[in-house]
Amino acid sequence: MLICALGDLLLDVIVRLEAPIAGGDDTTAETRVGAGGQAANVAAWVAALGEEARFVGKWAGDAAGRLVEEELRSRGVELFGPVVDGRNGVVVSLVGPDGDRSMASDRGVSPQLRPDELDMRWFRDCSWLHLSGYSLLRSPIDEAGAKAAGAVRALGGKVSVDLASASLIRAYGPSRLAARLKLLQPDLVFANEDEVASLAEDVPAHTLVRKRGADGIVVNGEALPAALAEVVDSTGAGDALAAGYLVGGPQLALETAARCVAQLGAMP
């Protein structure tokens, strides 16, 4: 099975604090720097779970872009898309002692992926196309995602979407996003409670997976508990869950999310 993920390939800078930040002073922390981005994370977990994984997106040829490209390839993921001049995106995740995280995101050149830069051969044999929610909330990558979804459907594949960010949904416009989702007609949507609430109407999908963190997931009304894990860092847990679900369904999704939160960083 080949799973394609379209969206961001970013440099992740993860800072795990041992205590709350001391304003104007030093705070001891553990750090990790490496490849990240919602779509790239999903692809990396798919590959770690033993399936073929392909990332499609735009990234920069600067030092950060070269670093994350090399790392993602080393994880067994195929990469397709234009490499351009400019600044690759960077996300800084601040992780508290309890494992909860807040992010400061600079998406760099990623949202600039245009529909005419896609080669439809990239989507041949894709069982699933996974669209990062971030790819639906900026232009022109939103149109590139729609074109890719059409190509995958025409070849018999399915489409999944992760809504990604309640604050960005509100900034973009809930009604605009709802209209786009109705056109995409995703087979599967992943969303947390805040993201579902921010949409302000029923999520148009055949299957809705509500992510509830330590409380597990709800799949079309059926609640499933989270797998036991000692939480180190929640960064990327939703991406790991999505990859597990696409590869093997709800139980593998929960197990993969548990693997993710037990380590520092979003990738396996």
Distances (CA, A) of 96 to 1, 16, 216, 223: 37, 6, 21, 28
Q: Which residues pair with 209 in a beta bridge?
A: 190, 219
- Confidence band for 208, pLDDT divided at 50, 70 and 90: very high
| The pLDDT value given to residue 99 | 66
CB 36 within 8 A of CB 155: no
For the chain, the distance separating the N- and C-terminal CA atoms, rounded to the nearest angstrom, is 19
Provide, rounded to the nearest whole percent, the portion of the chain with pLDDT above 90: 75
Q: What is the pLDDT of residue 93?
A: 83
Q: Is residue 15 part of a domain?
A: no
The residue range of the domain holding 244 is 2-7+37-88+108-261
Query: Per the domain annotation, does 99 fall within a domain?
Result: no
> The whole model's pTM is what?
0.94
**Do residues 203 and 181 lie in contact, with contact meaning Cβ atoms separated by under 8 Å?**
yes
CB 133 within 8 A of CB 153: no
Element (H, E) at 171: helix 166-172
CATH of the domain at 62: 3.40.1190.20
Q: Is residue 28 part of a domain?
A: no
* C-beta neighbour count of 213 within 10 angstroms: 17
Task: Give residue 142's pLDDT.
Answer: 94
Tell me, yes or no, whether 166 lies in a domain.
yes
Sheet containing 207-211: which strands, arranged edge to edge?
Answer: 77-80, 52-56, 2-6, 126-132, 158-162, 188-192, 207-211, 217-219, 222-224
Please name which of 91, 95, 165 lies closest in space to residue 132, comparing C-alpha atoms.
165
pLDDT of residue 96: 77
Each residue's pLDDT tens digit, 110-161: 999 999 999 999 999 999 999 998 889 999 999 999 999 999 999 999 999 9
Question: Could you report the per-residue pLDDT of 94-104, keeping only the tens digit for each?
Answer: 887 776 778 78
Give the separation between CA 239 and CA 234, rounded to whole angstroms: 10
Structure tokens at 173: 């416009």
- Other C-beta atoms lying within 10 Å of the C-beta of residue 157: 20
* Domain count of the fold of the chain: 1
Instruction: Tell me the C-alpha distance between 263 and 250, whole Å.
Output: 21
Q: Is the pLDDT of residue 199 over 90?
A: no
Return the percentage of the chain with pLDDT > 70, whole number: 100
Of 151, 159, 155, residue with least CA distance to 184 = 159
Yes or no: say if 71 and 47 are a contact pair by the CB < 8 Å rule. no
In a domain, 93, yes or no: no
139 assigned to some structural domain = yes
Position 204 in a domain: yes
* pLDDT score of 134: 86
Residue 26 within a domain? no
Q: Which residues pair with 218 in a beta bridge?
A: 210, 223
Instruction: Tell me how crowded residue 124 is: count the other CB atoms within 10 A of its CB.
Output: 13
Average pLDDT over residues 60-68: 98
Following DSSP, what letter does each residue of 71-131 receive, concatenated? Answer: HHHHTTEEEES-EESS-EEEEEEEE-TTS-EEEEEEEETGGG--GGG--GGGGTTEEEEEE
